[in-house]
Every structure is written in structure tokens, then in C-alpha cells.
Chain A
């Protein structure tokens, strides 16, 4: 049996380092685990949708360059919950927090 921690999946494609750090911090502050994976896909919507569907918790984040998106399992591809182009530090932190709050069934920030 393979035991994996239930975690939020973050699929990246050459991500912006600062954005990635802040998003991870947002998730960490909410106390949820996350896993990072660098992918071949370069489409943001595909990345987010795949991350959400692969995550046991059903919450996924995509970061491609300076683009970031939050997606949840059950939603159609492209219907991201949040997506940013060139997000600020605060927006990244909130995006991360929201991916965790989605699982905790708390209102988004």
C-alpha cells in the first residue's frame, strides 16, 4: 500500500519564484500540505484542472511564469476559481490560502 499525504497539488511550468514562494506560504499558514510538480504542459487552464483532479483533496494550483490559477475538482476546465496575470505578493498569498480554505470549507479571502 502506498500512503500519500492528502495535499494540494501545485503544477508549475517555469514558475516565477517569488509568486511560488508566496503561494506556498499562503497554504502553509492555513496548515495544509502541498506538493510541487514541474510539468511539460504550458496551458494554465490545463495545468490547474489536472492539478485539481490529481489532488486527493480536489484542490489544485497552476503557476506558469507570472500566471497563476486556482481550480477545484468538479469544475469545468477553464472555469478557474481565481486566476491572475502578474499577481501581487498579497494576491499570491491569498490564492494559496484560498486553495486551503476551499478544502476546509471556509469562505475565500
Chain B
């Protein structure tokens, strides 16, 4: 068959396919079953015409047009259903707990690294008190000397609605950085874990030096445990990404990495909503002098327990 004959014989089919596809893309709900079958049949014919044109008439307008139509049809007809996220109910009842369990070794590693960095930060601030000034700033340290925590300004400067928004978005940014940093060989996640541990240790030791550690622990008791847990869980997802990239497995690295990415995404999506709750707690409850110390601690423990129970979901059978 010569080129001109090929075009004359088949162009009506291509035009029809293009028109049907355009209509389907515009409003997929109006497509009847019969139309869908027509599109699928035409797609197959276009694909075969594309193969013929690509081998017999390469570089021609028909070959270009058919490649475009074949790609457009493939994109519309073939959806990657394998990585669909389930609805909220199924996600928090099954998908998230399964991912959480699967990432336990990474979470243990993250907790160990965090604790090590915390001890290091605390030791450094005890041995070298100047480190606390460098981290907190001279104004905050001056406030500590006078017996005031810098956290008191959280309620005096701006109202809780602004503080909670700022805190929630900042914490989510940190969690996202810890997760995404895993894609860089896990280095970003390591940085977030170690930095947070180091800073917390140094700040605790500095407040201990000025006799205000109890006040700081009271301030963080409502939101701190869960906040640290969430950052460690999302960073554990990042560590899993890094491990999939670095450590060899039987499967190709590309496959392992993409699978790790999908699993780690579940951790991230499952943790993000909790930051909104934490933002409100940190802005409203934590700095409030009227809320009793025990109530703050109880709230902190309650939030932590709620998250862990939801994340583990004891009603789910063991294993993955």
C-alpha cells in the first residue's frame, strides 16, 4: 500500500477516533458503554495504523498524527489503578496501620538516632553553656536568667488562631522535609532527625541550667510527645526511601524504590492531619497558665496513645 492510499483509506477512522476521544475527554460521564467499546476498538485500529506508519512511512505527517492519537488514546483508556489511595475509612483502618507496622524497623532506627542526638545536644549544652545561647539567642537566654521561658510570648504577642496556624504549617513543612529528604539517599531525613534531637537536648539542658526545665517540660507535655513521634514517623518513611535506594535487593532498584515511595507516602498522608490538631493544642493549651500541669500531661499522653492505637490498629491481624 502506498502512502497516499493509506491516508485516504484510514483518515476517516482517525478523524472519528479523534472526535470521539475529544468528546470523551470533555465529559467522560456522558459516554455510554457502546461509545466506550467504539473508542476501544478504534484505539486498537489506530495503534496498528501507528505501527504500520512508523515502520513504512516514518517521519510523515500521518506517522506523527498517529503517534499523537495513540498516545492520547493510551492516556485516556489506560489508568494506573495500582497506586490508588483508598477512602479515609479504609485508609486509617487498614492501609496506614499496615504501612506503620512495615516501617517499624525504620522507626526504631529513627528513635535511636533521635535519642543519641538528644543526649549529644544535652551533653554539649551542659559542658559548654554557650551552645544554649547560640541556639536560643541572647534574648531568650536573658529571659531564662530572669526566670521566664521564651514560650510565654506565644500567648502574649499574638492570639492562638495565628500561632496555631503558624505552628501547624511549620510542623508540616518539617515533616515533609524529613520525608522528602529521604529521596536524597536518606540524608535529608537523617538531618531532620538529628537536628531535632540535638536542638531538643541542648534546649532542655540549657533550661535545666537555669532551673526552668520543669516549666519547659510542662509547656511541651501537651503537644511534644506526639509532635516528636509524628516527625520521627514521617522521617522513618524517608529513611525507608533512602534504604531502598542504597541497599541492594533481588528486585531492580527502580522497582524497590518506587514501592518504597508508595509505602512511605501512606505514612506521610496518615500523619499530616494530626499536625492540625497539634497546632491547636500547642497554641491554645500548652502556653495557657490556667490549664493544670496534670491536665496538659494527660492530654499529651492521650494524644500520643490515640495516635499509636490508630497507627497500630490492634484489631488488624498481624503481619503485612
Bind each other: no
